[in-house]
Amino acid sequence: MAIAAAFSMMSAFFMGGLYVAGALGAIALILMKFFNISNPNLWNIMGNRAWEGSTNFILIAIPLFILMGELVLRSGVAERMYNVLSRWLVFIPGGLIHSNIASCAVFAACAGSSVATAATISRVALPSFRQRGYNERLVIGSLAAGGTLGILIPPSIGLVLYGLIVGESIGRLFLAGFIPGVILAVAFMIMIVIAAKIWPGIAPKEEIVTWRLRFIGLFSLLPIGFLIFAVLGSIYFGFATPTEAAAAGVTGAFALTLAGNSGMLLLSLLAGLVRRFPVLPRVAKIRLVDFQSGRPVLPGDIRKNFDDMVRILKESFLSMARTSAMILLILMAAFTLQFAFAAVRISVDMAEWIAAFELTQLQLILVLVVFYLILGTFMESYSMMLTTLPILIPVLSDANVDKVWFGIIMVILLEAAQISPPQGMALYVLHGARRDSDKELSEYEGAFVQSGTINDVFVGVLPFMVCMFVVIGLVIAFPELATWLPDQAKGGR
């Protein structure tokens, strides 16, 4: 009875458009009030349960990782990174389309969010693709698929949430996501090469730059490389917890933002101060004067730069507050629902019901893959995870499923949900970015530029979804792809 009521309420609330957190919380309250006959006062402990779930130290990592991504997004590093990577990849069939995947993979290691990754790289990449005559559907598809790497390649907010719900080590999950993430990025690039070989017109040949320019460009990637190493390295080598690493990442991202927006101004002011030192050699003073004269500080520059930094910080903090509040409210409701399911024995009943089918571990995983693929066509990824995991945890435990291994499978499925028509969030973000890009191009050229429909985005992502299914199959067939690296780094369990 309780199971039927829970799923009926869930269907009614979601189809009625109720917010996910409100729906999960309401279901938990109703179940504890009317179906827990042995202890009807169980409802009264909801406040304690919500408090316990929201005061976990690891939860602080979520807003910190989001803030780190927001600062990197606004630091200007994405455009420099994209230009550098494109110099190394233009010789591969498919040209600049490979830069979309590579840039998304690198940026994902800073942002931790699929939507932020797709939105940022698309605004850098889209203007140049139309001018060069690339197939727009494939370009949009590559940006959507590349953006989804943000939820798999660590640090990933999705893996943090999964670890909190199932009680797994965040560091172990981060390590588990690395190899499948690289394989998925390579699979996307192989698909682009095959498409470019079959239909050469979709990606024109690009001019090859010199090796000197390629290597010089790598210096501009050093700051972002240090930031990634500071965050992930401190977790992998045991120097810091995920929360402490996220705090270090925010500090590094702020330094990158400050350098990108105020670096030359600060250097010019510093040069003006240093050249006044009386002990400084005359040659050094002359060079400092030349440097300062080449980058003069004009009246109002300091004020303008200060206002820009305040604006960037304000936008970053507001975006972080909106996103983290939404995620944490859903997470709090999911913890409450998980407790309610245990209290009214729904979790136990579900585990016994599935066990009655006598499915093997492989059969259970395949059933769940199909279930999530269907669910992802009309439900947002984080909501999908936090809604279903409280039900699945006892089922997975009863079947002795490795939760680290299943976590990687689930996160890839959530990636597919991000770009799955008709409700994939990344698809609409990219469609909006394309319309903004076309509007800017129209204003620049003084002529109307026709934007495509959302159907172009739907068609463009289909080949990349096939790649996702292939990688899911590989991870299911070879669990070591997800478990080998964490077992080597942190020891077997």
Judged against a pLDDT cut of 70, whether residue 61 lies above it is answered with: yes
How far the first Cα of the chain sits from its last, in Å, is 38
Residue 89 to residues 25, 50, 104, 193, Cα–Cα distance (Å): 49, 49, 14, 11
Judged against a pLDDT cut of 70, whether residue 368 lies above it is answered with: yes
CA atoms within a 13 Å half-sphere pointing along the CA-CB vector of 335: 23
Question: Could you count the other beta carbons within 10 Å of the beta carbon of residue 93?
Answer: 17
Residue 36 banded pLDDT, cuts 50, 70, 90:
low
206 against 163, higher pLDDT: 163
Per mean pLDDT, which range of 5-9, 270-274, 485-489 is the poorest? 270-274
pTM score of the predicted model: 0.75
For 103-150, the DSSP string reads HHHHHHHHH--HHHHHHHHHHHHHHHHHHHT--HHHHHHHHHHHHGGG
288 against 113, higher pLDDT: 113
Residue 221 to residues 195, 297, 385, Cα–Cα distance (Å): 29, 27, 34
Q: What is the mean pLDDT of residues 142-152?
A: 78
Q: What is the pLDDT of residues 329-354, one digit of tens each?
A: 877 877 777 777 777 777 667 667 77
Q: Which range among 218-222, 308-312, 319-323, 399-403 has the greatest average pLDDT? A: 399-403
Q: What gap in Å lies between CA 388 and CA 293, rounded to an integer?
A: 62
Judged against a pLDDT cut of 70, whether residue 40 lies above it is answered with: no
Quick one: tokens of 468?
Answer: 């996702």
Contacts of 290 (CB under 8 A, 6+ apart): none
pLDDT for residue 385: 80
pLDDT for residue 115: 65
* Mean of pLDDT over the chain: 76
Judged against a pLDDT cut of 80, whether residue 173 lies above it is answered with: yes
Residue 474 banded pLDDT, cuts 50, 70, 90:
very high
Q: What gap in Å lies between CA 288 and CA 95, rounded to an integer?
A: 42
Tokens 């979309």 correspond to what residue?
100
Q: What is the pLDDT of residues 178-217, one digit of tens each?
A: 899 889 988 998 998 888 888 877 777 777 777 787 888 7
